[in-house]
Structure 1
Amino acid sequence: MFYPISIFISFRHLKEAGGKFSQFTTYMSVIGITVGVMALVIVLSIMSGFETNLKNRVLGVLPQAVISYKEDQTSMLDIAPKFITAISNRVEPLIHSEVIIQSISQLSSGYIIGVDPNSYDPIEEHLIIGDDLASLQSGSYRLFLGDILARSLNVFLGDKVRLTVTSVGKYTPFGLIPAHRNFTVAGIFSTGSDVDEQLIVTNIADAGRLLQYEAENISGWRLFFTDPFVVADLSSKPLPKGWKWNDWRDQRGELFQAVRMERNIMSLMLSLIILVASFNVISVLIIVLMEKQTEVAILKTQGMIGSQIFTIFIIRGMSIGFIGSIIGSLLGIFFLSNLKFILRNIDIEFFLILRQLPIIIDLKQIVIIILLTIALSMFVAIFPSYRASFIKPIEVLRHV
């Protein structure tokens, strides 16, 4: 098979490696890049898994976006307004509010959402004890609690809890008495997140009566999305006069910003490992240049021009980055694929949710890491390659 002369010579030098010291520095450069790429692949895959898992478990059950008219004056209609259905394929009526929940022995705060039991709600997938969503019929005053909230209140199925809303109430000779009503615990759910500490789900009509809404009013229209992060773009769209937009960022925005910032910082720190290892390529090429300068001078006397010499050393530097990044990526994927087995054999139980580490191996992300590593290796190889291309044969061969 035909190869350009620069590629042929570069691969031959890479295979033969040269002296012992140049071999050692070459191997150390490859190992450094391999370790850096492997660590970056592992950390980014685990962080991506945590972010996606958190997104599904938290934003899957909380209202992702709510469009309402003024304050508690959104009219309950059979079908949502057209401008709302144009934003999301699935829209449901919603009543929501912050409440105080009290059992016989404990008191806590919570966030109540009223849903239609005849339609699907994501919370049904996380029920661990109790009936299905259809049991939350209007007038039954039944509710679902998160498992953490249920434990803190020391309640179980069939127990009574009192919900109190301080924002509404009625005036009496003794002053304003907050709205309150007793509910029965009909189910307990677990999402594996902090949502279980506050979320309360009940029938939309019962929630409306607790909050003293008019029969035809709701808090707003709840929008569902395949990717909850699209709210960042959708929130900028203009709405008709009197309508306002609220989304999950008001409650959980800081949490996801912290997760993303931590991921970016970890990526930066691990990228520095690759950067340091890549700079070793300069040392490798300088050593190779010192060992091979006689050969370079002979090649020039045979008619090879400076750009061809430059290409030989550039390919040598890129080859180190290519080999290290490929091996590092394969080792990272192998480690992630066998992580559960590895942790079990060293007696480490490190599983947060359902005893499994959330891992997402993104091949596109790995390809980007490989390409950036190769590009970085090529960049740091420019200086020694440039110096090699300007070797003067007469000065080198004079001392041979």
Structure 2
Amino acid sequence: MNGFEAQLKNRILGVLPQAVISQNNDKTDMSPLPPKFVSQFPSIQAPEPIVKGEAIIQSADQISAGIIIGIDPSNSDPISRYLIAGKLVNLEAGEYRVFLGHSLARAMGISVGESVRLMVTSASQYTPLGRIPSQRLFKVAGIYNTGSDIDGQLMVTHIQDAGRLMGFSSKTISGWRLFFEDPFSVSELSKKTLPEGWKWQDWRAERGELFQAVKMEKHMMGLMLGLIIAVAAFNIISALIMVVMEKQSEIAILKTQGMSNHQVLAIFMFQGASSGIAGAVLGGILGVILSLNLNLILSFVGVALFSNGGQLPILIEPSQILIVIILAVLLSLAATFFPSIRASSVKPAEALRYE
């Protein structure tokens, strides 16, 4: 689950604008440098201008809807890492070229060099035939592949071409986009006070539900693992209770020879805790080894989880493993307490009455 979450974070949030700071009307005055308060956010790269909106794409056979963003290709855009056809420099102002995800291009039945029609309903115009959306023909200049659902929605073009399609003036943009070291930090950064007339938008408006679902799934898996460990702890309790019942006469003999209740208690706690500690530590080590070699094992037994030859994303978090092992050890110690108390309370006279 850590691997899947990290993969989604890199492939989706690494391409979409993680945050956009704009004026309240979603039209921001373009300037050579971003406002000072925008530059003060801990972005991993300088704030960049962006034009962003919703658009409809139409080919000769299909029609679909998605998100269009206009970027300045002179900047180092994250989409360049996922290009499988075309180059970022192919986006030239006035040429009306667009990059599409491979899923969208396949669904529309188009390839590099073909033309598609992009329409923006929010920038509709009045004509003698009625109100029609702003539209232009764009040439597909490249295709990218992030391996996520973004490939079926996101369309990337030059910032000036996107601005013209959106009905913006040459000095107007949607806002300034930011990228952070940890995209999840937007929840804290969004609480910062902005100057009057400015607003904050981030990826949670479009992808928040997806990552909330992943987070909830991780919590449910944690609950299931906790129940599994609890069952193991009850096994320790039942096993020790059986030992106490079987060894009552031996316990009584030890106590008649001078062993105190605390010493008897320590014996049974050590017996149960040793099983829990050994199991937790050995299980943790074997679990890490299994996880690191999981793709190799699946390949060896001939199990193919992905038709395109992909692999399970695996991310080991040492702190999480350490916490699980410590909690398992503590739970095993707690599980030995009741049987050990019962063993220490054995009365020699009663235990040896029929011996």
Q: Does structure 2 retain, via aligned residues, the 8 Å contact 1:146–1:196?
A: yes
Deviation at 1:145, TM superposition (A): 0.3
Partner of 1:137: 92
- Are positions 1:106 and 2:62 aligned together? yes
**TM-score (normalizing by structure 1):** 0.84
Partner of 1:121: 77
Partner of 2:277: 322
Partner of 1:250: 205
User: Using the alignment, how far apart are the partners of 1:281 and 1:366 within structure 2?
Assistant: 22
Deviation at 1:305, TM superposition (A): 2.8
Aligned partner of residue 128 in structure 1, secondary structure: strand
Give a deviation string over 1:118-169, Cα, whole Å, max 9, x none. 0111100000011x21221211211100001111111111111111111113
Q: Does structure 2 retain, via aligned residues, the 8 Å contact 1:144–1:185?
A: yes
Partner of 1:344: 299
Using a 3 Å threshold, how does the CA distance of structure 1 residues 352 and 94 change in structure 2: closer, same or farther? farther
User: Using the alignment, how far apart are the partners of 1:288 and 1:94 within structure 2?
Assistant: 71
Partner of 2:6: 52
* Alignment partner of 2:26 out of 68, 72, 84: 72
User: Using the alignment, how far apart are the partners of 1:216 and 1:305 within structure 2?
Assistant: 87
- Are positions 1:312 and 2:291 aligned together? no
Counterpart AA for 2:19: A
Aligned partner of residue 381 in structure 1, secondary structure: helix
Q: Does structure 2 retain, via aligned residues, the 8 Å contact 1:192–1:353?
A: no
RMSD between superposed Cα atoms in Å: 1.7
Q: Does structure 2 retain, via aligned residues, the 8 Å contact 1:128–1:188?
A: yes
Counterpart AA for 2:2: S
Deviation at 1:173, TM superposition (A): 2.1
Aligned partner of residue 112 in structure 1, secondary structure: strand
Partner of 1:175: 130
Partner of 2:48: 92
Mapping 1:225-374, distance limit 5 Å: 225-351=180-306, 355-374=310-329
Structure with the higher helix share, 1 or 2: 1
Deviation at 1:383, TM superposition (A): 1.0
Query: What residue ranges of structure 1 are gaps of 5+ in the alignment?
Result: 1-46
Aligned partner of residue 229 in structure 2, secondary structure: helix
Mapping 1:127-206, distance limit 5 Å: 127-130=83-86, 132-206=87-161
Q: Does structure 2 retain, via aligned residues, the 8 Å contact 1:92–1:223?
A: yes
User: Using the alignment, how far apart are the partners of 1:56 and 1:171 within structure 2?
Assistant: 42
User: Using the alignment, how far apart are the partners of 1:184 and 1:128 within structure 2?
Assistant: 17
Deviation at 1:110, TM superposition (A): 1.6
User: Using the alignment, how far apart are the partners of 1:264 and 1:177 within structure 2?
Assistant: 48
Counterpart AA for 1:225: F
Partner of 2:170: 215
Instruction: Give the aligned length.
Output: 353
User: Using the alignment, how far apart are the partners of 1:79 and 1:305 within structure 2?
Assistant: 79
Aligned partner of residue 372 in structure 1, secondary structure: helix
Give the percent of matched residue pairs that are identical in Structure 1 and Structure 2.
54
User: Using the alignment, how far apart are the partners of 1:157 and 1:276 within structure 2?
Assistant: 57
User: Using the alignment, how far apart are the partners of 1:232 and 1:59 within structure 2?
Assistant: 14
Counterpart AA for 2:8: L
Partner of 1:5: none
